[in-house]
A and B are shown apart, each in its own frame.
Chain A
Amino acid sequence: DGGITQSPKYLFRKEGQNVTLSCEQNLNHDAMYWYRQDPGQGLRLIYYSQIVNDFQKGDIAEGYSVSREKKESFPLTVTSAQKNPTAFYLCASKQGTYGYTFGSGTRLTVV
């Protein structure tokens, strides 16, 4: 079945550490997205990519970085510059103007 796979499901980060969240899709979608979800808030866009080797900052890109070397993959790195990284991170893809397909998410906690 086609879909989006995010790993790991849970991730613990120490202060000052960089961590990378994986996102892989086999839907052949051109566009991929990273969203952050905090309790009581809607989804906020971190980065998006509409084509391989190109990506744009979203509303809350500071402290994050991405790459898009393959159509199927869009990893997100949470750097030590992100002061409040504890959140639920959702990767999504879509084709055209239709709805997003989301992965199952990664819960990141700073310890």
Chain B
Amino acid sequence: GQQVMQIPQYQHVQEGEDFTTYCNSSTTLSNIQWYKQRPGGHPVFLIQLVKSGEVKKQKRLTFQFGEAKKNSSLHITATQTTDVGTYFCAGTGGYQKVTFGTGTKLQVIP
């Protein structure tokens, strides 16, 4: 079945450093979504990527969708303490099945 792997599982960074999380699917995706879950909270939708090679930016966050539509990345420039949380990708594959990655937990050290 469709599998979505996300790495790393955990990441600790000093405030001001950059951070990247990667998402890899076993199958080609029609789209990929990214969510952020603050500690003790619920996932909040950030963005959706649809096109091969697509790049979207939201302030310090840059999202990329791979050319083969099987991988994606989220890059945060100059992290802040407000970036703390777990970042999930969710890929839509065949039959519109959505599979969530296992998440990357980001800790920012002030």
What is the interface of chain A, defined by CB distance below 8 A to chain B?
35, 40-45, 90, 97-105
Contact = CB atoms under 8 A, between A and B. Distances in A.
A42 B43 contact: no
B41 A42 contact: no
Interface SS, A side: loop
A41 B9 CA distance: 10
B31 to A, nearest CB: 7
Given A97-B92, A99-B33, A42 B45 contact: no
Identify the interface centre among B4, B6, B92, B103: most chain A CB within 10 Å of its CB: B103
B68 interface: no
B38 to A, nearest CB: 11
Contacts, number: 45
B89 to A, nearest CB: 9
Interface of B: 4, 6, 9, 31, 33, 35, 41-48, 88, 90, 92, 96, 98-103
Given A42-B103, A97-B31, A97-B48, 5 more contacts: A42-B4, A42-B102, A43-B90, A45-B98, A102-B44
B100 A102 contact: no
Given A42-B4, A97-B31, A99-B48, A90 B43 contact: yes
Given A42-B4, A42-B100, A98 B48 contact: yes
A41 B45 CA distance: 18
Contacts of A40: 9, 102
Contacts of B45: 98-101
B63 to A, nearest CB: 13
A104 B4 contact: no
Nearest 8 A/B pairs, CB to CB: A99-B45, A42-B100, A43-B100, A102-B42, A42-B102, A105-B42, A102-B43, A99-B33
B96 to A, nearest CB: 8
From A42, A97, A98, A100, residue with most partner B Cβ within 10 Å: A42
A43 B4 CA distance: 11
